Amino acid sequence: MKAKHYFLFYFLFLSASAFALGFQKDARLYDHLCEVNAEWRKITPAGGLLEYVQFDSDRSRIQKHLELVEQALRAKDISALPESQQSKRLHHLEVLHGYGSTGIFPTNHYHLYRRPYFRDNSGVLCAVGYLIWQDGRKEIVDRINRENNFGYIAELAAQYPEIGLWARENGFTPEELAWIQPAYDPIKPDLQVWGNGGGLNAGGRINVMVKNQDETQLFVAGQFANIDGTPANSIAAWDGTSWSTLGNGVTGEVFAVEYEKGWNSEKLYVAGDFFLPGQPDKQNIAIYDLITGTWKGIQTGDMSGSIRTLEIYLGMLFVGGDFQQVNGVTSAFTAVYSPYFNSWEKWSTPFMVDGPVYDFELVGNLLLAGGAFKMVYQDNDGLWVDAPHLAYYAYWGEWLTLPHDLPPVQTLAYHFGNVFTGHQLQDLGNPDGQMVGINVLKAGLWFEDICFPLGDNTIHGFFPLDDVLIAYGGFSSGGFSSGAGASAFFQDNAGSIGYLLADNTVRSIVYFKNHVYIAGDFQFLFGDPYPGLARIYSPSVPVIEPDERLPVQITVASDHLTLRYEALEQKTKLSVYDLQGKLVVEQTLTPGDAETTLEAGGNWTNGLYVWQLQNTSGARSGKWPVLR
C-alpha cells in the first residue's frame, strides 16, 4: 500500500540527503557531475574529470555540467545525419549554451533529495524543457509539467513519444537529452522556529488560528496546557514576538474561533467541547471580550455534543456541530445567536439539517454549509429535502441545493469563483492507494484532486494566499514527491502542487506579519525538526488599488513591459517587486507624452513580479509574469 511506501521513501530520502556529496566538498569533478546527472556514470573518467574541485554553489556545478555536456555533444561525429538535422542540432546547442550561461535553473521546493524539475512554480524550465519550448513545442512542455513534472528523460521518453520524435527531428537521441537533463538540490523555504521553539506540551495541539483586524495579534486555540513555555489553557495570543494568555482560558478543546470588531467592541467567539474554569455549566461556546479581558459563557448545560464551526452572517452568529440541544432546548446540529439581544434566536427554526455541520463559508450573500447531514428543512414547504453534505442557506430563510455526489464535508472554501470541499480521504479502490480528499466546483462541474494517506487522512482547512489557495491536513498530494501536509491550488490550474513537506498532519495555517504560520501534529518539515509549530518568512508585496487618474497604458509581455502615456501631468514612479517583496527596479516617468520599454534584466529569474505606478494623484499596480 502507498501508506507503507511513503514512510519507507521518507527514510530513504532522508538517508540520501545525509550522504549527498554537496557542492562545497573537495571531490573529483567526475563525482560532482555524477551527482548532478547519473548519466555521467556511463562515461569512464579521465583527464580533467579526475581533478579534485569545489564549487561555490550548486548552480555553478550545474553550469559546469551543461558546459561539458555541450562540448561533448559538439565534438560528436554527426556526419551521418542529414544536413537539416545537423543544422538544427547545432542551433539547439547554441540555445543550450545561452541557457547554461544565464545560471537560471528550476528550484527544487518539494523534495528532500536531488530531483529533476521540468518546470518549477516560477515557470523556470529545465534545460531540455527550454530547448523544446524555444523550438515552439510548448504543448509538450505544458503536458509534461501537468502530468509528470519530476520525471527523468528516460522515463518521459517512454511515456511521451513526442520527446523521441523531437530528438530525432533535431539531430539528437533521447539518451543525449537524458545526459543534458540535470537534477536539482532541494531548496528549503525560510523556515523559522516560532517563539523560543518550545512548542506545545506533550499531546497538545492547535486546531485553529485567527488574527485580529489590525493584524497585531494572532489567536491560537486547540487543546494544550502550555505553549512555548507559557502556561495557557487551550487558547493564547501571539503578537509576533511574545505570548500572552486570554484570562484563564477554557477547560477542554477549542474547534472554532470567530473574531468580530464593532464600533465600540472587539471580541472572540470561542467554540468547541469545553467549559469555563470555575463555571462547569457554561459549556462549548463563550465570548472573550478583548477590551475588558473577560470571559462570558453564552450556553448553559450539556449540549450532547460539541460545536465545530462558527460564522457571522446577517449580523448573527451561526453555529454548527454535532450537538443536540442549546440551553436545554432541542436544537440539533445548528443554532443562531444574536449578539445584539444576547440570546439564541427562535427564528432559526428553518435553519435545520438532519446531521452534523462541520464548516460554514460565506459565498456572496449566501451561507454555504458542509457536513455529514443528508437533508435540510424547507420551512416554506414544511418538508425535508435531499441535500447530502452540502447546501446554501439564503438570507430569506430558504435552503438552495446543488447537484453533486460528495462524501461528508469536513471543510469549505470559496476562492476566485470556485467552491472547494475537503473530506476524509475516500478510497477509490486503486491498488496504489490513491484517494480523493478534495473536490472543486469549477464552472458548474466537480473535479477531484487525488491524495495519498498521511497522518489522520483528513483535509482540515483551506488558506488563501493572494491568488493561491492552500489546502492543508493529513494527506500528501501526488505522492511524497509532490509534497505532504499542504498543497497549493493556483487560480488557472486544474490540479494542485505540494506546498509543504511534513511528516504528519497540518491542522492550521494563517498569514500574519510577513510570515506563514503553521501548526499541526508534525515533528519535521522539509526534514528538519519543527515539533508542531513553525513559520515561513514570506513578506507580502504591497498591492495598491487602481486609480484611473494615472493615464498610463501598460502592456505586459513575457520579457518586457511597454508603457505608453499621453498628457501625463506629473512625475510618476514605476517600481517592480519580486514575490519576496524585494524592489528589483525603479524608474521615473517624466510628464508629457512618451512610450518606453522596461526589459527584464539578465539577472532576473523567471517568475511572477508586481509592478506599481504611483504619484501624488493616485496609484496603480499589476502582475508581470516573466519568462525569458
Please report, for the domain that includes residue 622, its CATH number.
2.60.40.3080
Give the CA count within 13 Å in the CB-facing half-sphere of 108. 17
- pLDDT (0 to 100) of residue 583: 76
Q: Which of 147, 180, 213 is the last residue of a domain?
A: 180
Determine, yes or no, domain membership for 590: yes
Distance CA 299, CA 275 (A): 10
- pLDDT (0 to 100) of residue 77: 95
Q: Which residues pair with 525 in a beta bridge?
A: 502, 528
Q: Tell me the average pLDDT of the chain.
A: 86
Q: Which three cell numbers stand for residue 63?
A: 553550469
Confidence band for 481, pLDDT divided at 50, 70 and 90: very low
Closest CA to 157 of 184, 134, 179, 136: 179
For residue 348, report the phi and psi dihedrals to the nearest 5 degrees.
Answer: -75, 0
Q: Mean pLDDT over residues 362-383, rounded?
A: 90
Instruction: Look at residue 406 and tell me whether its pLDDT is greater than 80.
Output: yes
For residue 421, report the phi and psi dihedrals to the nearest 5 degrees.
Answer: -125, 135
Confidence band for 12, pLDDT divided at 50, 70 and 90: very low
- pLDDT (0 to 100) of residue 112: 61
Instruction: Look at residue 188 and tell me whether its pLDDT is greater than 50.
Output: yes
Determine, yes or no, domain membership for 117: yes
How many DSSP H helices and E strands does the chain contain?
Answer: 9, 45
Residues 190-233 have pLDDT tens digits of 889 998 888 899 899 999 999 999 999 999 999 999 999 999 99
Distance CA 470, CA 457 (A): 16
Q: Mean pLDDT over residues 438-454, rounded?
A: 85
- pLDDT (0 to 100) of residue 542: 45
Determine, yes or no, domain membership for 589: yes
Confidence band for 447, pLDDT divided at 50, 70 and 90: confident
Determine, yes or no, domain membership for 244: no
Residues 15-37 have pLDDT tens digits of 233 334 566 678 899 999 999 99
Confidence band for 562, pLDDT divided at 50, 70 and 90: confident
DSSP three-state, residue 2:
helix
Determine, yes or no, domain membership for 74: yes
Instruction: Look at residue 558 and tell me whether its pLDDT is greater than 90.
Output: no
Task: Print the domain residue range for 617.
Answer: 552-626
Cβ contacts of residue 86 below 8 Å, gap of 6+?
Answer: 78, 171
Determine, yes or no, domain membership for 44: yes
Could you tell me which residue, 379 or 305, shows the higher pLDDT? Answer: 305
Q: Which of 180, 207, 224 is the last residue of a domain?
A: 180
Confidence band for 491, pLDDT divided at 50, 70 and 90: low
Determine, yes or no, domain membership for 95: yes
Residues 67-116 have pLDDT tens digits of 999 999 999 999 999 999 999 999 999 999 999 988 888 888 767 678 89
Give residue for cell 443536540. Answer: 324
Confidence band for 549, pLDDT divided at 50, 70 and 90: low
Residue 412 CA, distance from chain mean position: 15
Closest CA to 563 of 544, 582, 590: 590
Q: Which three cell numbers stand for residue 134?
A: 524555444
Q: Which three cell numbers stand for residue 212?
A: 485580529
Q: Mean pLDDT over residues 534-546, rounded?
A: 63
- pLDDT (0 to 100) of residue 543: 42
Instruction: Look at residue 610 and tell me whether its pLDDT is greater than 60.
Output: yes
Confidence band for 593, pLDDT divided at 50, 70 and 90: confident
Closest CA to 215 of 508, 465, 536, 511: 511
Q: Can you say whether residue 339 is alpha, beta or left, with left for phi > 0 and alpha for psi between -120 and 50 degrees?
A: alpha
Model pTM greater than 0.75?
Answer: no
Query: Where does 3-151 show beta strands of DSSP type E?
Result: 27-28, 52-53
For residue 415, report the phi and psi dihedrals to the nearest 5 degrees.
Answer: -140, 120
Determine, yes or no, domain membership for 377: no
Q: Which of 116, 148, 180 is the last residue of a domain?
A: 180
Q: Mean pLDDT over residues 290-303, rounded?
A: 97
Residues 144-155 have pLDDT tens digits of 988 888 899 999
Instruction: Look at residue 178 and tell me whether its pLDDT is greater than 80.
Output: yes
- pLDDT (0 to 100) of residue 546: 43
Residues 242-288 have pLDDT tens digits of 999 999 999 999 999 999 998 889 999 999 999 999 999 999 999 99
Closest CA to 348 of 313, 373, 372: 313
Distance CA 32, CA 53 (A): 9
- pLDDT (0 to 100) of residue 628: 60
Residues 312-343 have pLDDT tens digits of 998 999 999 999 999 999 999 999 999 988 89
Distance CA 335, CA 154 (A): 59
- pLDDT (0 to 100) of residue 17: 34
- pLDDT (0 to 100) of residue 271: 98
Q: Which stretch, 4-8, 297-301, 314-318, has highest mean pLDDT?
A: 297-301
Percent of the chain whose predicted confidence (pLDDT) is above 70: 88
Contact 564, 553 (CB under 8 A): yes
Tabulate helix, strand, coil % of the chain (nearest 5). 20, 40, 40
- pLDDT (0 to 100) of residue 547: 47
Percent of the chain whose predicted confidence (pLDDT) is above 90: 56
Distance CA 306, CA 323 (A): 5
Number of domains within the chain: 2
CA dihedral 153, 158, 161, 165 (to 10 degrees): 50
- pLDDT (0 to 100) of residue 263: 85
Distance CA 483, CA 465 (A): 17
Confidence band for 2, pLDDT divided at 50, 70 and 90: very low
Q: CA angle 486-489-493, nearest 5°? A: 145
Q: Which residues pair with 391 in a beta bridge?
A: 369
